[in-house]
Amino acid sequence: MTLLQRIKNAVRKRSIHICYVNTGSCNGCDIEILACLSPRYDIEQYGIYVHNNPREADVILITGAMSAQWIDKLPDLWDRVPGPKAAVTIGNCPISGCAFNRPGSLIDPPVSKYIPVAAAIPGCPPRPTEIISAILNVADTLFENYEIKSRGKKP
Amino acid sequence: MKKVVDVSLPIGPVHPCFKEPARIKCETCGERVIATEVELGYVKKGIEKIMVGRPWQETIFLAERVCGICSVVHNTAIVGALEKISSIAVPPRAMYLRIILNELDRMQSHLLANYSYCYTIEHETLAMYLLNLRETIMDAIEIMTGTRIMAAYVVPGGVREDISAATADAVRAATFHIETELPRFVKMFETGPMIALRSKGIGILSVEDAKKSGVVGPMARASGIPCDARDQVPLYQELGWHMITRSEGDNFARIMLRFDELFQSASIIKNALAALPSGPVRLGGRVVSGRCRNVIEAPRGNLTYDIAVDEVGRVISVAIQTPSIMNVEVGSHAMMRNLASIADVTATFISTDPCIACAER
């Protein structure tokens, strides 16, 4: 491993930029992400910054059960995120549709049909601490040695 | 006269200021914003449609998931409608507990709205103070119901479980913490010169516009219209509720009105805990067919449930009218016109406390 790679590994672990995308959730999960910002949980002490801009994000947090409006927009948004990148879904809705997955509803879960999902946090909604720990776990394993792992693959 | 439009600038759907996806199209002339248009429809799930044909026990949980911020009030509204249809009696202790939880929910919602506004006008310090204060309320809700959001505490015929003396003390301590800490932050907001520059006289909703558009909740009260569904509930009057209105109708008035209501909610909770009667918290009843319309005051305004059930308890039809849809539309038609800067568009939009999940369902 080169020195450059070691520096990249160390830096990426401590600087994770986040964008959250609401694809038809009820707000509950979004509010729990916001609660992570509060000084009690203090998400920035782990080097996680919520910018909500897909073009500078490393991790996209996806809440909601994939409403019809997002089916073409979410893969588009995913393409705009620069690598290394990861998608983490929050709550039951992106996994199964939760209470909304009934005949006649306008949703099409799961989210993993449309973009590759690295991790899923179940719960309706999950607690802020669970969200933070999931992001930290995912970022550690996915972003380590990214250049070596992605060698030979198309970007 | 022909309008001179330079650029049609879209804001959203994913934007740093927005909690939820919405798109604002701004027609700009230089820096000045001539007109705006709000596009909704990103989180439409069709909740009312999937409620039809289900037993009403299931629709209570679906109604709660209309909105994550004000889940308690949706729960209370649909349960209130079902109780009215079947004439199910609610014991007095359960009525008090419902009011305590609803006011806690209102407090956290108003704190979140004011946090969003302070964050949007880039006063991050005050925003973080308010968000941390909100965690106190969330703790009180968790102690009382067992979970932070989606508590399912209100059930037909009462509430799910009683509170102990220790829980009552914890809730009392939380409201005391708010009452002692919040005045400092209100003073920061009231006297901050930079905040005043970004808030006072911006996004004015005049009384005529407000009356014409049917705006509800804190937005109507900030424009001087006494509009609050709590005046129909005698128990609220007993607990010291009174109408709070302001006359300015700008962004500053809307945020200050929410601060005033926070103090009022804290005092209502304190009075309710002091006067909490003893007795059972849950009684039974029988479901009969019928149709009913129930209006209660959500943190954002009047919330209406119009629900019809048949004799075995299946929902025949349901219509939900949430306050956000009126408030968001009047925001684009009356308030976000002729603004001096594009930055005022997001600030004005957030000051209406938009809840897109409520509005679209």
The pTM assigned to this predicted structure is 0.90
Backbone dihedral angles phi then psi of residue A5, each to the nearest 5 degrees? -65, -40
Would you say B217 and B351 are in contact if contact means Cβ atoms under 8 Å apart?
A: no
pLDDT at B1: 44
Would you say A25 and B44 are in contact if contact means Cβ atoms under 8 Å apart?
A: no
Any idea what the CATH number is for the domain that residue A88 is in? 3.40.50.12280
**CA of A57 vs chain B CAs: smallest distance (Å):** 12
A1 within a domain of the structure (yes/no): no
A5 within a domain of the structure (yes/no): no
pLDDT in tens, B146-190: 888 888 888 888 888 888 889 999 999 999 999 999 999 999 888
Q: Give me B232's structure tokens.
A: 């129909």
What is the rounded average pLDDT for all residues in chain B? 86
Segments of chain A with pLDDT less than 50? none
A70 within a domain of the structure (yes/no): yes
Q: Give me B149's structure tokens.
A: 């959001």
User: Between these two residues, B2 and B270, which has the higher pLDDT value?
Assistant: B270
Is B14 close to A21, i.e. CB distance below 8 A?
yes
Chain A positions touching B66 (Cβ under 8 A) are: 26
The Cα A36–Cα A126 span in angstroms is 11
Long-range contacts of A147-154 (CB under 8 A, 24+ apart): A147/A5, A147/A8, A148/A1, A148/A5, A150/A83, A150/A84
Point out the residue among A39, A65, A106 whose CB comes nearest to the CB of B132.
Answer: A39
Domains defined along chain B, listed by start: 1-42+323-340 (no CATH), 44-322+341-360 (1.10.645.10)
Helix%, strand%, coil% for chain B, nearest 5 = 50, 15, 35
Instruction: Tell me the residue range of the domain where A102 lies.
Output: 15-144
pLDDT in tens, B84-129: 888 888 899 999 999 999 999 999 999 999 998 988 888 888 899 9
A151 within a domain of the structure (yes/no): no
- Match 């109780």 to its residue by tokens: B83
pLDDT at B226: 87
Q: What is the 3-state secondary structure (H, E, C) of A56-117?
A: HCCEEEEECCCEHHHCCHHHHHHHHCCCCCEEEEECCHHHHCHHHCCCCCCECCCHHHCCCC
Is B19 close to A19, i.e. CB distance below 8 A?
no
DSSP assignment, residue B205?
Answer: -
Chain B residue whose CA is closest to A106: B45
| pLDDT greater than 50 at residue B262 | yes
Chain A residue whose CA is closest to B68: A28
pLDDT at B3: 58
The Cα B208–Cα B257 span in angstroms is 19
> How many CA within 13 A on the CB side of residue A145?
6
A149 within a domain of the structure (yes/no): no
Chain B positions touching A101 (Cβ under 8 A) are: none
Integer CA distances (angstroms), B245 to B228, B267, B351, in order:
10, 17, 16
Mutation site, A20, A29, A31, interface B, largest B CB count within 10 A: A31
ipTM of the modeled complex: 0.86
Give how many domains chain A has, as a whole number: 1
Chain A positions touching B62 (Cβ under 8 A) are: 99-100
A10 within a domain of the structure (yes/no): no
Point out the residue among A35, A39, A105 whose CB comes nearest to the CB of B45.
Answer: A105
A19 within a domain of the structure (yes/no): yes
A130 within a domain of the structure (yes/no): yes
